[in-house]
Amino acid sequence: MSDKDFNTINSMQFDVLKEIGNIGAGNATTALSKLLNAKVDMKVPKIELLEFKDLSDVIGGAENVVVGILLTLDGDIDGMIMFILEQEPARAIVRLLMQGMCEVSDEFTELELSALQEIGNIIAGAYLSSLSTLTNMTITSSIPYLAIDMAGAILSVPAIEFGKISDKALLIETEFGDKDLEVNGYFVLIPTLDSYNAILTSLGM
């Protein structure tokens, strides 16, 4: 198998990854809409291949405090997927989901944190199912792990995984929402090098 990495990605491969991002984000929007029992719109996702030093700038700077939900992947693809939300929209989604059951405070309660993990699980699951369908590969994911911290620190986890195969990371930014709820979410998908090759091969690259 040839040695591909994100440094030498060509425009066709980039288009394929973009398309996976589009379909994944579409599925995620539908899932979120069902979960919240509300109409959720989505803008066309922006997909960027970024150098590490620029990665956290997209998410409001390295010190911007964000919610990160991480799942590790298993099956035909090894790696991890991360979903990142800003704190305010995270709070808005949780409130909508729990319909007034949460206390109004700056800190997330245990219950709210569990709800966020579940939201991350559903959104990441929707994304992964599109990848799975397109590639005809079986992908299983771990339970979701959650951290609320500086964007740079949260992103260091996927960046390190990318760091093994590349000097760049692939970030998918999706804007969900309608007039009541606007949510900027970011996906970072990190297959291991073998799995990355396997994905491209399965797509006929």
Partner 1 sequence: MGEMIKVGMADMNVCKPPDSITTLGLGSCVGIVLYDPGKKVSGMVHVMLPDSTKIKNNENIAKFADTGIDELVRRLLVLGATRSSLVAKIAGGAQMFAFSSNNDMLRVGERNVEATKEKLNSLRIPILAQDTGLNYGRTIEFNPESSELLIKSVGKPQKKI
Which parts of this chain interact with partner 1 (CB under 8 A)? Answer: 3, 5, 7, 52-56, 61-63, 65, 68, 70, 72, 80, 142, 145-157, 159-161, 163-167
75/4 Cα distance (integer angstroms): 21
Q: Provide the minimum distance between the beta carbon of 130 and partner 1 in the complex, in angstroms, as a whole number.
A: 23
Query: 120 or 125, CB closer to partner 1?
Result: 120
Q: How far is the CB of 112 from partner 1 (least distance, A)?
A: 16
Smaller CB distance to partner 1: residue 29 or 86? Answer: 86
Least CB distance to partner 1 at residue 124 (A): 14
Residue (of 55, 49, 52, 30) closest to 41 by Cα position: 30
**Closer CB to partner 1, 124 or 181, in the complex:** 124
Chain centroid offset of residue 149 CA: 16
CB of 81 to partner 1, least distance (A): 13
Min separation Cβ 63 and partner 1, Å = 5
CB nearer partner 1, residue 80 or residue 94: 80
DSSP 24: H
Q: What are phi and psi of 80, to 5 degrees?
A: -150, 160
The residue (of 176 and 186) whose beta carbon lies closer to partner 1 is 186
User: Which ranges of 37-191 does DSSP label H, i.e. alpha helix?
Assistant: 52-58, 87-98, 110-135, 151-163
Q: What b-and-e string marks burial along 147-184, b requiring 16 or more CB atoms within 10 Å of the CB?
A: ebebbbebbbbbbebbeebbebbbbbbbbbbeeebebb
